[in-house]
Amino acid sequence: MNQSQQSAWWKESVIYQVYPKSFYDSNNDGVGDIPGIIAKLPYLKTLGITLIWVSPFYRSPGADNGYDIADYYAVNPDLGQMQDVDNLIKQAGELGIEVMVDLVVNHTSDEHPWFQAALADPQSKYRDYYIFKPAAAGGAPNNWRSIFGGSAWEKVAGEECYYLHVFHKKQPDLNWENPQLREEIYAMINWWLDKGIAGFRIDAITFIKKDQDYASLPADGIDGLASIKAKSRNRPGIERFLHELKERTFRRHRCVTVGEAPGVPLEEYDSYIGPDGYFNMIFDFHAADIDVENGSEWFKQRDWNVREFREALFASQRAFCQAGWGTTFIENHDQPRALSKL
């Protein structure tokens, strides 16, 4: 029996995303929290919800709304404590509601102990948990532009080297080429699954494999930089990491996995969500990103028409029919509201 068949329970689920800070404030401090989610479980039950996806609640300095994680094993004090998470899982389960959480393993916060150790000692094993490269001609190692704009490289104070960040400069990328780093990630994932969560929405997972030549690209803007996506999104070799991730973690548990997987061509959907795919589902971006030039770079708008949108939507549905279970969306927490697009 393959993973999709074993995990068929999630196909009947009604899923509701909860963003903790804005969902419900249980103690009137102006910030939503995990006890607030617990308080509203009966309400969610009346809506027919059977699975909640809770956006990041880990300890984080908040440079990217919690997607910059400083400790995978701790809860942001503004949102509660680990006992609250345990209570959420337990009380939700008593109402027939499962709990899935965000999994962010392309990067950490620059305040994570691993990164702080890497900065403190260039000879530390933690230096190889991230991607550090020497300066080139007195500047950044190459001309890659981060998803958030500007160079994807940040200089290390007091050293002639830089670290890579596909997204925010406070989100240094993890080095998936390092097997020791991967073991740390798998241990953390299994820890959460053993705790009783139902699964994960896996953030930015198609960015974990970088081209190892770290070569510059022809500039595509007046800033002299080039989008990092051509060298870091769904690149050759990612299949090895994703297969290992599934085998070492997800396959061992009764869980549901939804990959945030921009940049995956329709013809590769079978590898991602087919009978032996890496995940149960992936978020499909082909229609949602119709209004931007290079997927999620909202500062580069493009003209589009309804016929284009229709074809993108239908093409994705045809691919899902052939490959497996898919998810189509018109907006998410990263994007402008659909009304401004449509």
Residues acting as catalytic residues: 203, 260
DSSP letters spanning 187-253:
HHHHHHHHHT--EEEEETGGGS---TT-------STTS-EETHHHHSS-TTHHHHHHHHHHHTGGGS
Q: Evaluate whether 206 touches 238 at the Cβ level (below 8 Å).
A: yes
Closest CA to 287 of 258, 311, 260: 311
Closest CA to 61 of 44, 45, 78: 78
Q: Evaluate whether 206 touches 233 at the Cβ level (below 8 Å).
A: yes
Closest CA to 209 of 187, 170, 190, 182: 182
d(CA 254, CA 88): 19
d(CA 21, CA 32): 4
The radius of gyration of the chain from alpha carbons, rounded to an integer in Å, stands at 20
Buried (b) or exposed (e) across 12-38, using 16+ Cβ within 10 A? ebebbebebbebbbbeeeeebbbbbbb
